[in-house]
């Protein structure tokens, strides 16, 4: 295993844990964790490492903080932007996605709703703009669109997600929304059958039984999308969720709860990245030595609570990480621990 106090030490013959090199083989990698633990740094570094293997890689930030632009030193938006030969990146604005999402629904409803019902429809649409969960639903649609297109365009997609609570709600949506839509479709179909029966018996017109209800068609399409994304998220051969944490009490507690939640939903947890570990030289200074001793205690807690998960360890660097300083060191450390050899030429 990776030894506490020696961040970045490569596993030796006596170690019992294999670093999660298999993440590089997964088309979808989600990086999550408590805010401020270095998720974005790890996601960006991993995406760079994957792209340098010649894989067409897309880095997607769903974190409202949107630090990806700052870290890469390029301006990013909703559209994919090429960063290196094999790496593209984009930042999704959940609030903007929600506005566009509601606008699309409004336009669709205007085509389907009788004119007399439009004032009430407009009122309901405006209420939907501020409904709790609107941003998560819109973000979910965007993530689904990106993830399900993976095989057509990208060899790998790396998601830098929002802090843990937001991400867990997002990942739970496929199951929740599919159940909700199943209920809507069931009620809709029962109403349709009663309506057809009424027309036959009282009007003598059974209607066009072959014509599909447009609402049912829309709901059915969304149900298929939810089902496809859920299948993709639960496929451990294609998807992995990596938790980033620091050797501190609160990140450890939050990570433990999050791992348990994902496992209940069947989402594959690929392992941990323990970030910002103090170097051996910290023992030379009394303050840092005390911090390092506390760090060892927390590393033992990680081992006790989450020891079965593959784990990478990254050092605390002397300076802030950005495109010009520190990021390459993180990439190199990830590659070294995973025994990655870049293709020549």
Kindly report, residue by residue over 146-188, the tens digit of the pLDDT: 999 877 889 999 999 877 666 676 666 666 666 666 666 676 6
Which H or E run includes 82? strand 81-82
> CA-CA distances (angstroms) from residue 300 to 5, 143, 248, 281, 305?
11, 36, 11, 20, 9
DSSP state letters, 113-154: S-GGGHHHHHHHHHHHHTSTTHHHHHHHHHHHHHHHTHHHH-
Statement: residue 200 has pLDDT above 70 = no
Which H or E run includes 242? strand 239-246
**Whole-angstrom distance, CA of residue 12 vs CA of residue 10:** 6
The pLDDT tens digits of the residues spanning 135-156 come to 777 888 888 899 998 778 899 9
Angle at the Cα of 339 (from 306 to 30), degrees rounded to 5? 50
Residue spans of the domains in the chain: they are 21-95+144-337
Statement: residue 213 has pLDDT above 70 = no
> CA-CA distances (angstroms) from residue 18 to 4, 33, 299, 331?
16, 21, 17, 18
In this structure, the strands spanning 28-32 and 311-315 are unpaired
Output the pTM of the full model: 0.81
Statement: residue 223 has pLDDT above 90 = no
pLDDT at position 25: 83
Work out the mean pLDDT of the chain and round it to a whole number. 82
**Whole-angstrom distance, CA of residue 278 vs CA of residue 296:** 10
Statement: residue 208 has pLDDT above 70 = no
> CA-CA distances (angstroms) from residue 82 to 41, 87, 345?
18, 6, 20
User: Domain spanning 21-95+144-337 has what CATH number?
Assistant: 3.40.50.300
**Whole-angstrom distance, CA of residue 5 vs CA of residue 282:** 9
């Amino acid at each position: 295993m990776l030894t506490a106090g020696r961040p970045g030490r490569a596993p030796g013959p006596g170690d019992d844990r294999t670093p999660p090199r298999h993440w590089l083989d997964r088309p979808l990698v989600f990086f999550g964790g408590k805010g401020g633990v270095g998720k974005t740094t790890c996601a960006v570094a991993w995406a760079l490492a994957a792209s340098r293997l010649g894989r067409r890689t897309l880095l997607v930030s769903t974190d409202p903080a949107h630090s990806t632009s700052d870290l890469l030193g390029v301006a990013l938006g909703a559209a994919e932007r090429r960063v290196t030969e094999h790496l593209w990146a984009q930042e999704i604005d959940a609030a903007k996605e929600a506005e566009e999402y509601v606008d699309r629904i409004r336009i669709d409803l205007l085509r389907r709703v009788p004119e007399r019902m439009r004032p009430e429809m407009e009122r309901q649409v405006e209420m939907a703009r501020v409904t709790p969960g609107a941003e998560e639903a819109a973000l979910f649609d965007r993530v689904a669109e990106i993830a399900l297109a993976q095989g057509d365009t990208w060899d790998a997609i790396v998601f830098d997600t929002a802090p843990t609570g937001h991400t867990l709600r997002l990942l739970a949506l496929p199951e929740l929304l599919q159940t909700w839509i199943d209920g809507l479709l069931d009620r809709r179909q029962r109403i349709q059958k009663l309506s057809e029966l009424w027309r036959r018996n009282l009007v003598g017109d059974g209607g066009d039984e072959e014509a599909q209800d447009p609402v049912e068609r829309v709901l059915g399409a969304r149900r298929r999308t939810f089902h496809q994304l859920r299948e993709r998220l639960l496929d451990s051969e294609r998807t992995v969720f990596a938790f980033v944490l620091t050797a501190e009490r609160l990140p450890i507690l939050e990570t433990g709860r999050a791992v348990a939640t994902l496992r209940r939903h069947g989402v594959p947890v690929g392992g941990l990245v323990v970030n910002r570990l103090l170097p051996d030289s910290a023992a030379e200074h009394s303050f840092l030595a005390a911090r390092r001793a506390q760090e060892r205690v927390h590393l033992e807690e990680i081992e006790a609570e989450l020891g079965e998960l593959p784990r990478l360890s990254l050092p605390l660097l002397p300076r802030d990480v950005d495109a010009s300083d520190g990021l390459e060191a993180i990439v190199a450390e990830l590659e070294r621990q995973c025994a990655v050899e870049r293709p020549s030429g």
